[in-house]
Structure 1
Amino acid sequence: MGQLGYTHGDLGWSELSTTNAADALDFYSALVGWERKGEPMPGYHLFGRDGEMLGGITDAKSGDGKNKTPQWMPYITVDDLDDTLSDVEGLGGTILMPPCDLPDDGGLIAIIQDPQGVATGLAQYKKQA
């Protein structure tokens, strides 16, 4: 992810859960020039462009092994995740997933739902040097 994604309010990471992650990455690579940036865990494909990480694509499976509906999940960068989450419910939203650690001590993420029922992620990243 580039430096633009680290400013409060930026869309800093996007994640696609779909029925075939490898095929989806092939499609978007051909369509807009995304590059494969690795597979840090089985079935989770990182993508980016020009040396920047932009997001991940994963095969979406529900607990019973059936495919879930494909969807994009944007992550909005925040300076202070706890402070931002304290405002969610007062503004009519819901916390769907409380804060959890990103791999490699990269920061924290949480998932919220806005008053219209749309889910989105929030991310507090470690400051980049």
Structure 2
Amino acid sequence: MGQQGCTQGDLGWSELHTSSATGALDFYAALVGWEKKGEPMPGYHVFGRGGEMLGGMTDAHCGEGEKKMHWMPYITVDDLDATLAKVEGLGGKVIMPAMAIPNDGGRIAIIKDPQGVATGLAQYVKKECTA
């Protein structure tokens, strides 16, 4: 994995939708040493290690009280609009159109591949990337 937001095709962010985000954060902190890095929005907990942010955790809500727990990886893309324009022609479907990441972090969208598996795409605001 490269640096988050620096390399086309890298898994740059992972998000956990779970029944207890705080409980999951405690579990993974004890299991692999992840640390809570902040809560940029109520109920959304950013986790990481050292100076690196790795992802977020939130309570899952899927309408009418149903909860669906899952991990959602976000694949880094250089141009979100161009990538989304390719999805349907390749047999996929855009299930959540592009939206802004809070705090000027870039933009994300969610797609399903031809096999029906959902994944996120993310175009981050460019930052300093090292070779």
Bin for the TM-score computed over the shorter chain: over 0.9
Deviates more, 1:109-118 or 1:3-12: 3-12
State the Cα distance separating 1:6 from its structure 2 match: 2.2
Q: Over residues 22-49 of structure 1, what are the superposed CA-to-partner deviations in whole Å (9 max), with x where a residue is unaligned?
A: 0001111111110110112221111000
State the Cα distance separating 1:3 from its structure 2 match: 2.3
- Assess if the C-alpha contact under 8 Å between 2:47 and 2:55 holds in 1: yes
State the Cα distance separating 1:63 from its structure 2 match: 2.8
The size of the alignment, in residue pairs, is 127
Partner of 2:61 in structure 1? 61
State the Cα distance separating 1:93 from its structure 2 match: 0.3
Structure 2 unaligned segments of length 5 or more: list them.
Answer: none
Rounded to whole Å, the distance in 2 between the matches of 1:110 and 1:44 is 17
Rounded to whole Å, the distance in 1 between the matches of 2:16 and 2:82 is 27
- Assess if the C-alpha contact under 8 Å between 2:112 and 2:119 holds in 1: yes
Correspondence list, 1:44-83, <5 A: 44-64=44-64, 66-83=65-82
Rounded to whole Å, the distance in 1 between the matches of 2:100 and 2:58 is 18
TM-score, length-scaled by structure 2:
0.92
Partner of 1:17 in structure 2? 17
- Assess if the C-alpha contact under 8 Å between 1:19 and 1:67 holds in 2: no
Structure 1 unaligned segments of length 5 or more: list them.
Answer: none
Rounded to whole Å, the distance in 1 between the matches of 2:6 and 2:66 is 32
**Would you tell me which structure has more helix in proportion to its own residues?**
1
How much identity, in percent, do the aligned residues show? 71
Correspondence list, 1:102-113, <5 A: 102-113=101-112
What letter matches 1:34 in structure 2?
W
Q: Structure 2 vs 1, CA of residues 45 and 111 (structure 1 numbering), >3 Å: closer, same or farther?
A: same
- Assess if the C-alpha contact under 8 Å between 2:5 and 2:124 holds in 1: no
Does 1:121 find its partner at 2:120?
yes
Rounded to whole Å, the distance in 1 between the matches of 2:18 and 2:33 is 19
- Assess if the C-alpha contact under 8 Å between 2:95 and 2:110 holds in 1: yes
